[in-house]
Amino acid sequence: MMGERTVAQEALFYEFSLERHVPAHHLLRAIDLFVDLSGIRAHLRPFYSDTGRPSIDPELMIRMLIVGYCFGIRSERRLCDEVHLNLAYRWFCRLGLEGDVPDHSTFSKNRHGRFRDSDLLREVFETTVRRCMAEGLVGGEGFAVDASLIKADANRQNGVPGKDGLAPETANHAVREYLTVLDDAAFGAATPVVPKFISPADPAARWTAAHGGQAFFAYATNYLIDLKHAVIMDVEATTAVRQAEVGAARTMIGRTQDRFGTWPEKLVADAAYGSAENLAWLVHERGIEPHIPVFDKSTRRDGTFSRSDFAYDHDRDLYICPDGKELRQFRRPFAVPRDGIDPEGLMRYRAIKSDCDACSLKPKCCPKDPARKILRSIHEGARDMARDIAATDAYVTSRRERKKVEMLFAHLKRILKLDRLRLRGPCGARDEFLLAATAQNLRKMAKLMPAGAPPLAA
């Protein structure tokens, strides 16, 4: 017999507990164990007035942002709707059943005001890093660094030629923010090359075709991770050029050492970080082993001898060619000593023309030049160290471990949905990258440290 729904009289009283209705295995339950926002009120106190109406609780807004970035909800309007309807989100945000959800405009006002001025989002991120260290998830022995391009909120069809610049009448908020970072090594000062196109909506976004397809406006998010459990130790937003990414790696290494006292023994990276200057900085200034491919263009492709075919004599500071002849910087002493270093940091070692003319190997050495010369960087010692490391078994392991940072970028784009920015400008990119890295660290701890498990440090 077909049943029929009966209309029951509504009860006068209900007994309902959010605590009982959020499943024990829910991700937010695990994340909540590692969220410590006890210090944000003291951190923000100088940015609030002592008089007037009470504001929205900043801890509530940060918890809502954590929910949004953990579950790929980056629209503030949609986030408010989801927190209003989802019981687990309400439980995590300490709202209860009758708590009011802030208006979406409140997020914009605080993000562009107090949160940004106080650098609160970085403080929240670094709190998660300290918790990861306390739980034993950070080894501190090996780090890896890499960068990934994230599309900016700028239409590629609306770009203007970079050589024309931006007209004075277009000096909107985005242009003014761009002008403030023109001297920043992570943005305007990263390279003197004028981009092909500039976006009036977000001038700091860089026009790039690095992915091989259609060019687009983008920023770069830079991760410095610990290799033990792929915990993100630091994150930095830069323009989408290699010079800025290398500079960001130095910034993150220095900041991590200052903030957390971590001093890694090795750094793993790809060839983009293998310039002579960067390798020398790692080896001589930081004492870090570079598990990095050397960026080297000395190998010739026309069949003639490359620089690797010449042996360098460290004691006498000269090169010996395959025929046994010497290549020196100077053949006589000078009254005023010379270092022989050009503005690019290179030294030139030259053979004697008479030796090359009489040499039977000249067609394979310098067929178009009267004598052979070799360029040597002033940082060649650090490059040689990186080459020696590349021949070890530890280097093979490091190349495999480097994939951990690439997996974090894949998780960032596919799971957290951060393949395109919603906020504009360098500050907007920093905010989004910091919140996303915070969410990834919290999810990491929730996965590796379930409720009731002892800390790995024990």
CA–CA distance, 356 with 68 (Å, rounded to integer): 69
CB 196 within 8 A of CB 161: yes
CA dihedral 103, 105, 109, 110 (to 10 degrees): 40
pLDDT computed for residue 103 by the predictor: 87
Is it the case that residue 53 has pLDDT exceeding 60?
Answer: yes
Position of tokens 């029951």? Answer: 8
| CA trace torsion 147, 150, 156, 159 (10° rounding) | -60
Cα dist from 406 to 94, 147, 210, whole Å: 35, 9, 16
Where does residue 340 fall: left (phi above 0), alpha (psi -120 to 50 degrees), or beta otherwise?
Answer: left
Higher local confidence (pLDDT), 99 or 219: 219
Q: Read off the pLDDT of residues 306-328 as tens digits, 9 standing for 90 and up.
A: 888 899 988 888 999 998 998 98
**CA trace torsion 361, 366, 372, 374 (10° rounding):** -110
Going by C-alpha positions, the residue among 323, 377, 312 that lies closest to residue 348 is 377
> Is it the case that residue 458 has pLDDT exceeding 50?
no
CA angle 291, 294, 296 (to 5 degrees): 175
> Left, alpha or beta for 268 (phi > 0: left; psi -120 to 50: alpha)?
beta
Query: Is 369 a residue whose pLDDT tops 60?
Result: yes
Q: What is the pLDDT of residue 453?
A: 57
pLDDT band, residue 6 (cuts 50/70/90): low
Read off the pLDDT band of 457 (50, 70, 90): low
Q: Which residue has the tokens 């000269």?
A: 318
399 CB-side CA count, 13 A: 11
Q: Write out pLDDT tens, residues 40-52.
A: 888 888 888 777 7
pTM, to two decimals = 0.88
The Cα-based distances of 423 to 111, 133, 202, 396 in angstroms read 10, 31, 10, 39
- The answer to whether 34 and 449 are in contact (CB under 8 A) is yes
CA distances in angstroms from 58 to 29, 55, 120, 185, 356, listed in the order given: 21, 8, 10, 32, 75
Q: Are 442 and 232 in contact (CB under 8 A)?
A: no
Give the start-end residues of each E strand in 93-230. Answer: 142-151, 160-161, 197-198, 206-208, 216-226
Cα–Cα distance, 22 to 24 (Å, whole number): 6
175-189, 217-231, 351-365, 373-387: which range is least confident on average?
A: 175-189
Give the residues across from 145 on adjacent strands: 224
Residue 10, pLDDT above cutoff 80: no
Q: Dump pLDDT digits (tens) for 409-456.
A: 999 999 999 999 999 889 899 999 999 999 999 999 999 986 655 555
Residue 8's pLDDT is 58
Residue 99 CB neighbours (<10 A): 12
Q: What is the pLDDT of residues 212-271, one digit of tens each?
A: 788 999 999 999 999 999 999 999 999 999 999 999 999 999 999 999 999 999 999 999
Contacts of 455 (CB under 8 A, 6+ apart): 134, 135, 136, 449
Other beta carbons less than 10 A from residue 383's beta carbon: 21
Number of Cβ atoms within 10 Å of the Cβ of 277: 13
Dist CA 413 CA 432 (whole Å): 12
Closest CA to 31 of 77, 1, 85, 69: 69
The Cβ of residue 136 has, within 10 Å, a number of other Cβ atoms equal to: 16
